Amino acid sequence: MTCNNRVMDALLAVLVVLVVTIAVWYGVATRRRRLEAEARVAIRDRELAQLIEATDEGFLSFDATGAITSWSAHSEQLFGWNAADVLGERVTDTLIPVLQRQAYDNGLANYRAGTDSAVVGKRVATAALHRDGHEVPVEMIIWAHEEDGFNAFVRELPVRDDTSGEPESSDGARTMIPLTDPLTSLGNRNLLEKDLSVYEGQVARYGLRSCVALIDIDDFRKFNDRYGRAAGYQAIVAVAERLANRSRSGDSVYRVGGDEFICLLPEQSLETGAIAVDRMRRNIEELAIPHEDSSSGFLTVSAGLALLDAEHLKAASELLKDAETALYFARNPDADSIEGGDNSDSTPSP
């Protein structure tokens, strides 16, 4: 009996040693495979980084939600954004012009591997936004990667000022038309007219509608006379920031004159547009900028609204004239009201 117990103990010891040996061997093998895989990934990442730096195209990655996850030095040169500024920001909000954002968002959200897409897997000539607000003509290709996100290469396309009739010079010099207001960094009249021309086509083609609001600071000449030109500039910047920061994500704000702003409000009627603009007006009042020549004692604005839809197709100049007419009739002794209209027979103030 004792002999049998010794044999069983010996066999059990051998079994334990065998199990431990196998476990150690399996752990070492697993660790070795993991290290080898990590080494292959590191090599691939280095090769990709070298490829990205060797090309003259910008490279970026973004996840399934559109948040930017990588940003190359060439992307920084092309668009003016540092990596620290854009990582985590949505690619469409950062690079895609306002009127094209919905199409890109839909194309990426509806993409499924193995399906055809107007955005993914194709080289597309389009426009992208520079940090200073002007549009850059680019060619872009987006492709899906395994981690449920996307990569993109972007290169700038050569352009020239087609309105001049002059070809691009041999050294690549070209005339760039400014699209931003240098004081406020909002879009300027050039960008407004460009966006409106695009939107007019979408209204005619897809039956969309938009409300355009002309917002004007009340008694601004008196404000300048009393407080000085520097204070006037500060007031314009404060109003611009409040309009831009309190607008919906799809709205666009432009500075088109000294103290005049245009808000483009997609998918708004005159009624809902008036509600949106009244909210902007109250937000500006909350700035509490002193204005002793105003009946309220503070700086205020008035606004006129005009409608662009399939039933009221009109050129941008006519649309803006309607907004000016509505602004003229909106102003009252309180200089703090809103009125909408699309009647071009009204006469604006001289």
CATH of the domain at 136: 3.30.450.20
Q: What is the CATH number of the domain that holds 308?
A: 3.30.70.270
Q: What is the rounded radius of gyration, in angstroms, for the C-alpha atoms of the chain?
A: 30
In a domain, 3, yes or no: no
State residue 4's pLDDT score: 64
The residue that leads in pLDDT, 140 or 299, is 299
> Are 130 and 195 part of one and the same domain?
no
Name the pairing type of β-strands 338-340 and 301-308. parallel
> Are 142 and 254 part of one and the same domain?
no
The residue that leads in pLDDT, 68 or 103, is 68
The residue that leads in pLDDT, 345 or 330, is 330
> Are 200 and 111 part of one and the same domain?
no
Report which secondary-structure segment, H or E, holds 153. Answer: strand 149-156
In a domain, 164, yes or no: no
Percent of the chain at pLDDT above 90? 21
Domain count, the chain: 2
The per-residue DSSP string of 248-266 comes to: -TT-EEEE-SSSEEEEEEE
In a domain, 33, yes or no: no
Helices (DSSP H) in 55-88: which residue ranges? 73-79, 83-86
In which domain, by residue range, is 234 found? 189-340
State residue 201's pLDDT score: 73
- Residue 7 makes CB contacts below 8 A (sequence gap 6+) with none
pLDDT in tens, 71-97: 988 888 888 888 888 899 988 888 887
> Are 152 and 87 part of one and the same domain?
yes
Q: Given a cut of 70, is residue 188 above it in pLDDT?
A: yes
> Are 194 and 332 part of one and the same domain?
yes
In a domain, 249, yes or no: yes
> Are 322 and 200 part of one and the same domain?
yes
CA distance 82 to 100: 23
Q: Given a cut of 70, is residue 264 above it in pLDDT?
A: yes
- Residue 291 makes CB contacts below 8 A (sequence gap 6+) with 219, 222, 223, 226, 297, 298, 299, 300
DSSP state, residue 345: T
Q: Given a cut of 90, is residue 262 above it in pLDDT?
A: yes
> Are 193 and 319 part of one and the same domain?
yes
Domain boundary at 139, 156, 173, which?
156
Most confident of the following: 58-67, 280-289, 323-332 = 280-289
State residue 245's pLDDT score: 84
* Cα separations in angstroms, 101 against 3, 186, 190, 201: 84, 18, 20, 16
Confidence of residue 345 (pLDDT cuts 50, 70, 90): very low
* Cα separations in angstroms, 88 against 64, 71, 83, 131, 213: 12, 11, 10, 16, 32
In a domain, 270, yes or no: yes
In a domain, 23, yes or no: no
State residue 40's pLDDT score: 67
Straight-line distance from the first to the last Cα atom of the chain, in angstroms, rounded to the nearest whole number: 121
* Cα separations in angstroms, 138 against 29, 126, 229, 240, 321: 49, 6, 40, 29, 34
> Are 146 and 203 part of one and the same domain?
no
Q: Given a cut of 50, is residue 343 above it in pLDDT?
A: no
> Are 244 and 324 part of one and the same domain?
yes
> Are 201 and 330 part of one and the same domain?
yes
The residue that leads in pLDDT, 50 or 227, is 227
In a domain, 13, yes or no: no
CA distance 225 to 293: 10
In a domain, 41, yes or no: no
Q: Given a cut of 90, is residue 16 above it in pLDDT?
A: no
Residue 186's nearest CA partner among 243, 127, 246 is 243
Domain boundary at 131, 156, 181, which?
156
Confidence of residue 337 (pLDDT cuts 50, 70, 90): very low
> Are 139 and 68 part of one and the same domain?
yes
Q: Tokens 């609204």 appear where?
A: 305
CA distance 179 to 198: 15
Confidence of residue 238 (pLDDT cuts 50, 70, 90): very high
> Are 133 and 195 part of one and the same domain?
no
